[in-house]
Amino acid sequence: MKKGWIFSGLASVLIAAGAGGAAWYVMDRVPAELDAKPLLAVPVGQKTAVAAQSAKPATLKDVIAETQKRVVMIELEDSLGSGFLYNDKGDVITNAHVVEGARKVKVKTADARILDGEVIGAGTETDVAVVRVPELVGTKPLELADKAAEIGDEVLALGSPLGLQNTVTTGIVSGTGRDFTIDPYVYNNLYQISAPIAPGNSGGPLVDAKTGTVLGINSAVMSEQNSIGFSMPITGVRETVEKWSKNPGTDLPEIASNDGGDDVDAWTIAEEAEYVVAAYYDSLSAKDYVTAYSYLGSSWQAGTDYNDFRDGYLNTGTIQVDSISSEQDGDRVAVTIEITAEEFTDAGTVYTPYRLTYQVGYENDAVKIFSGKGKKIS
């Protein structure tokens, strides 16, 4: 039976690793089946809020806070990606395309330390790699799942989209068993996710929103449908990465350069602007007000105290993005978004539709929201 969203011919898939906001658009055939104190310094013996669930269930904020401590940004000379600590040897899992052609990388932790890392294993067909960071030896890692995720599981995607370190987006596993090829990598049995990901997210973890357990490695997103991302199940690569950790440096073949010719392109500022506005609302929906506030430009922040900003959303629950579009005018982009907001009132919970327009552009080499206005949709 044909599913409506299946591409009959060529589908454009975006590898989610970027250089200064850039990304690779690679055209490839998708088969019909594709329907303060240091944050990264928790002693191994110390129980975390997420792990100590016997005491009390972890809240979403607990899961986010504890997971962020173990997520890093991986920096090369002309590109960046994400990764996460998976054992007490200081080993970080990421995508092979993030560290392609490199043996030495820089790793930036959640508390802004920049550490040296060495690639100790990388795949040529499987898009996974391991980076060893000596200064992270003995640090409490994230726990890896020992069983596959299921459709409907609530998940968090963490990483550094467009260089915005430790961004968290929420969603669900919306599909399983997705297969495609982006030369030289072959992707099998991937999770399809609704959590937004973008250039720079590659290599970051997909975690269970209730436990913080790593379910997958965020790897790709459809360029024409930025809300559809793909994550590589951790259960499918766990044996491989553990082998590299036990025998570092023994499996380091030359990784073929991805020569996409005219198919290689960068995200436009309009696409980046749409992503940032969508991520802004995703952060608000997750009650991550600090991240949401960070998307605002300096002039907006100067006129709006963080506490006032946060207080303005305390009576708002989940926010659903219904549509988003943009129009570029020079170096500015007007992003129009329609949302449905869950609002808590004295009369009870109501769901209110809004249409808003934001002015978005670059500030200090980062995409920021400068101003916005909106109204209820009657």
CATH code assigned at 241 = 2.40.10.120
Whether 198 and 279 share a structural domain? no
Q: Which of 218, 251, 284 corresponds to the end of one domain?
A: 251
Domain that holds residue 206: 1-251
Whether 246 and 281 share a structural domain? no
Whether 198 and 143 share a structural domain? yes
How many Å apart are CA 189 and CA 179, to the nearest integer? 6
- Asked whether the whole model's pTM tops 0.75, one would answer no
Whether 38 and 172 share a structural domain? yes
Say if 273 falls within a structural domain.
yes
Say if 196 falls within a structural domain.
yes
Distances (CA, A) of 98 to 45, 87, 119, 200: 31, 20, 11, 9
Number of domains in the chain: 2
Whether 175 and 60 share a structural domain? yes
pLDDT of residue 291: 82
Q: Name 18's Cβ contacts closer than 8 Å, sequence gap at least 6.
A: 79, 80, 162, 163, 198, 199, 200, 266, 267
Whether 225 and 282 share a structural domain? no
Whether 206 and 347 share a structural domain? no
| Residue 324, beta-bridge partner list | 337
Beta strands in 183-297 (DSSP E): 185-193, 205-208, 214-222, 229-233
pLDDT of residue 253: 56
Say if 284 falls within a structural domain.
yes
Q: Which of 197, 225, 251 corresponds to the end of one domain?
A: 251
Say if 74 falls within a structural domain.
yes
How many Å apart are CA 19 and CA 243, to the nearest integer? 30
How many Å apart are CA 141 and CA 70, to the nearest integer? 6
pLDDT of residue 259: 39
Per-residue pLDDT of the chain (378 residues; tens, 9 = 90+): 222 222 122 233 444 444 333 233 333 333 333 333 333 433 444 444 444 444 456 788 899 999 999 999 998 877 789 999 999 999 999 999 999 888 899 999 988 888 999 999 999 899 999 999 999 999 999 999 999 999 999 999 999 887 788 889 999 999 999 998 888 899 999 999 998 888 788 999 999 999 999 999 999 887 655 568 899 999 999 999 999 999 887 667 554 444 333 333 456 888 888 888 988 998 898 888 888 888 899 999 999 999 999 999 999 999 999 999 999 998 899 999 999 999 999 999 999 999 999 999 988 777 899 999 999 998
Furthest C-alpha separation in the chain: 65
The neighbour count for residue 143, using CB atoms within 10 Å, is: 17
Q: Are 81 and 96 in contact (CB under 8 A)?
A: no
Q: Which of 221, 251, 281 corresponds to the end of one domain?
A: 251
pLDDT of residue 82: 94
Whether 85 and 136 share a structural domain? yes
How many Å apart are CA 270 and CA 290, to the nearest integer? 24
Amino acid in position 321? V
Total number of residues shown for the chain? 378
- Whose structure tokens read 């990606």? 81
Q: Are 71 and 110 in contact (CB under 8 A)?
A: yes
Query: Which token pair is 358?
Result: 């934001």
Whether 237 and 291 share a structural domain? no
